[in-house]
Amino acid sequence: MNSPTGIPANSPANPPATSPAEAASPQPSPEPFGARLRRAMDDRGPLCVGIDPHASLLASWGLDDDVAGLERFTRTVVDALADRVAVLKPQSAFFERFGSRGVAVLERAIADARSAGALVLTDAKRGDIGSTMAAYAAAYLEPGSPLFSDALTVSPYLGFGSLRPALDAARAAGAGVFVLALTSNPEGAEVQRATAAGGAAVAQTVLDHIARENAGAEPLGSVGAVVGATLGRADADLAVNGPLLAPGLGAQGATAEDLPGVFGDAVRNVLPSISRGVLGHGPSPRALREAAERETGRLAEVLG
């Protein structure tokens, strides 16, 4: 039936009328990322698998270094693992290098992985100020965006306060952010281990900010820290009441057995990230699944 204006009564331009009570009723808040991540890690095991389709890995799978190869690789990983691992972590740069067609592959991967039950952490390491940071937050952390993810990696090295648009957007959407703190690359120490104005290391000031963001959260805060598994020892207070993303296992040299020494009492909140150690077993979906299961079992034994 048409309205008097000629617009169909149920069209978006002429939505059904809502009662004042319906309009005034508050919408339920989304479940926080920290709670969803804790449940996923408990149910599926503490493993994050990176999706890093760099040229050499595509070649090892017998794929061309083009959009078709990228799409085949990504779809195989998502189809094989998204229904069984806690987190998938696509590295945005390996999709961006193919331009808009590569980003379209990333958009579909995020949507498909989330539909299959995995949490998606987009590894883009965004960091900027003001309206630019707000635009990054809108791209990755606002529902309705084609790139909307469960969490995003961000860089605090323009000042932790510069991350406020991302922190606020994530909280409103029930999403999370992982803040670079003590990264696995050796070059990071020249900034992260430097002394801040108050006398603490720069990385510790970042961790302290994260702890304040997570204060009172149950069972786990939604603001995580990135702390490399390759550090040997963190020499920092990691009690941030949030998840600790631990890159560096496998190709970078760290092992599951290194994690208790690095993370100490915070080890239960560690989310180890492995990329080539799993992806190198492709292109067989069965081999990918078996590799992920082995890594999950090994990590569960060490982390408890």
Taking CA 254 as the corner, what is the angle to CA 272 and CA 224, rounded to the nearest 5 degrees? Answer: 30
Total domains in the fold of the chain: 1
Q: Is-contact 247 223, C-beta < 8 A?
A: no
In a domain, 26, yes or no: no
Q: Within the chain, what is the greatest distance between any pair of CA atoms?
A: 72
Which string of DSSP letters, residue by residue, matches 251-304?
TTSB-GGGHHHHHGGGGGGEEEEESHHHHTTTT-HHHHHHHHHHHHHHHHHHH-
User: How many whole angstroms separate alpha carbon 12 and alpha carbon 138?
Assistant: 23
- Catalytic residue check, 125: yes
pLDDT at 8: 41
Other residues' Cβ atoms within 10 Å of the Cβ of residue 11:
10
Kindly tell me if the per-residue pLDDT of 134 is higher than 90: yes
pLDDT at 4: 37
In a domain, 13, yes or no: no
Residue pLDDT, tens place only, 224-247: 999 999 999 999 999 999 999 999
Range of the domain at 195: 31-303
Q: Is-contact 217 191, C-beta < 8 A?
A: no
Kindly tell me if the per-residue pLDDT of 80 is higher than 70: yes
User: How many whole angstroms separate alpha carbon 137 and alpha carbon 135?
Assistant: 5
pLDDT at 26: 67
- We report the CATH number of the domain holding residue 140 as 3.20.20.70
Q: Is-contact 133 154, C-beta < 8 A?
A: no
Kindly tell me if the per-residue pLDDT of 68 is higher than 60: yes
Kindly tell me if the per-residue pLDDT of 2 is higher than 80: no
Could you tell me what percentage of the chain is helix, strand and coil, using 3-state DSSP and rounding each to the nearest 5?
A: 45, 15, 35
Residues 114, 125, 193, 276: which is the catalytic one? 125
In a domain, 12, yes or no: no
Q: Could you give the percent of the chain with pLDDT greater than 90?
A: 87
Residue pLDDT, tens place only, 210-224: 999 999 999 999 999
The pTM (predicted TM-score) of the whole model is 0.90
pLDDT at 250: 83
pLDDT at 187: 94
Mean of the pLDDT values across residues 62-72?
98
Residue 230 CA: distances (Å) to CA of 168, 260, 269, 297: 31, 12, 17, 20
In a domain, 209, yes or no: yes
Kindly tell me if the per-residue pLDDT of 16 is higher than 60: no
Secondary structure of 142-161 in HEC code, one letter for each residue: CCCCCCCCCEEEECCCCCHH
In a domain, 87, yes or no: yes
Least Cα distance to 48 among 224, 263, 283, 287 occurs for: 224
Residue pLDDT, tens place only, 249-268: 987 889 999 999 999 999 99
In a domain, 162, yes or no: yes
pLDDT at 5: 38
In a domain, 251, yes or no: yes
Give 27's DSSP letter.
Answer: P
Q: Is-contact 119 48, C-beta < 8 A?
A: no
Least Cα distance to 174 among 222, 208, 139 occurs for: 222
pLDDT at 25: 61
Q: What is the pLDDT confidence band of residue 24, given thresholds at 50, 70 and 90?
A: low
Mean of the pLDDT values across residues 126-148?
98
In a domain, 9, yes or no: no
Residue pLDDT, tens place only, 266-293: 999 999 999 999 999 999 999 999 999 9
